[in-house]
Structure 1
Amino acid sequence: MRKLGILTEDHQISETVYPPIHLERPPIEKHVVHAPHTINEAYNYQKPSSFSRALRLDLGGYKVLLVSGTASVNEKGLPEHIGDFKAQLWRTYVNITNLLAAEGMTWHDVVRTTNYLRDIERDYGEFNKIRTSFYTWLGLDPLPAATGIQARLCWETLLVEIEVYAICKAN
């Protein structure tokens, strides 16, 4: 860590790498969002992971919700519908819907999604068909901005994972 400049010669954390919290401009307040009846927290996985499911930011009369990559995981932190892409995608939508609802939001507040597919060539057609029917059923207009990416997901059993950004006026 000294070679990387993280620690000083006397084993102190280098302020050039990790500066102290600045008092003249404190960090924005962040609120952790939970939907425990649907999906557990990543730090409670059998192999814990260090991220929040979602964070809410309150910005000048608006709520911004940042939903981490969410997949077909149940309330016990176990994968659901192994090997079934369609069922995994629907379970992912259920999980995201419940995270949105935890903050009084819906898919109508979603402005952007990033969609990760393990095998985009094999699954994109089915993904787009389901996404289109889901968005049509919800009556979304305009549709959220989106990106589709082929990626190796955190567990071999997961076939799809979605990040969401949502914004609405605060009450």
Structure 2
Amino acid sequence: MRETKLTHIAAPAGVAPGRGYTQVVIGTGRLVALSGQVALDERGEVVGVGDPAAQSRQVFDNLRRCLTAAGATFDDVVKLTYYVTDIAFLPAVRAARDAQVDVERPPASTAVQVAALFDPRLLLEVEAFAVLPESAS
């Protein structure tokens, strides 16, 4: 299998570099789209009620499991989108992310504060896009 070639452009001309994310990630291959993951365990129970760090770890564990199911890893992720009910949770989210991604070549990302998620006990949701090599045929 060929390796996916991803190009990271931390700061295009005239754009400030991001802290903990890359402004542009370019790749060719098969696109993998992961639905937003929340802090639910395999039984559908909320993990870490009221605890953004525990919820962040569960969310990234769920993302890792979804990536594995697609034959991918966090090294293949090109974009993360964070939906948080309080922007103050970002340090906990970043800590969980940094435990999974290459912090020297992080994916592109967007963080948005939202009024609520589908369950009021949930504090964040994270979706991901990854790129895998073309299938060997």
Unaligned 5+ residue runs, structure 1? 1-60
Alignment of 1:79-158 (within 5 A): 79-120=46-87, 122-132=88-98, 134-135=99-100, 138-151=101-114, 152-158=116-122
Could you tell me which residue of structure 1 aligns to residue 129 of structure 2? 165
1:18 aligns with none
Alpha-carbon distance in 1 for matches of 2:80, 2:36: 10
* Secondary structure of the corresponding residue to residue 104 of structure 1: coil
Match of 1:8 in 2: none
Flag structure 2 segments of 5+ consecutive residues without an equivalent: 1-27
Q: Secondary structure at the match of 1:64?
A: strand
Amino acid at match of 1:128: R
Contact 1:73 1:80 in 2 (8 A): yes
Q: How many residue pairs get matched?
A: 107
Higher relative contact order (CA 8 A, sep 6+): 2
> How far apart, in 1, do the equivalents of 2:58 and 2:128 lie?
15
The match for 1:75 among 39, 42, 47 is: 42
Cα displacement (A) at 1:140 = 4.8
State the distance in 1 between where 2:73 and 2:103 align: 10
Q: Percent identity?
A: 29
Contact 1:108 1:140 in 2 (8 A): no
Report which of the two structures shows the higher radius of gyration computed on alpha carbons: 1
Distance 1:90 1:158 in 2: 13
Q: Which TM-score applies when normalising by structure 2?
A: 0.71
With over 3 angstroms needed to count, the CA separation of the structure-2 counterparts of 1:74 and 1:129, relative to structure 1, is closer
Q: TM-score scaled by structure 1?
A: 0.57
Amino acid in the other structure paired with 1:170: E
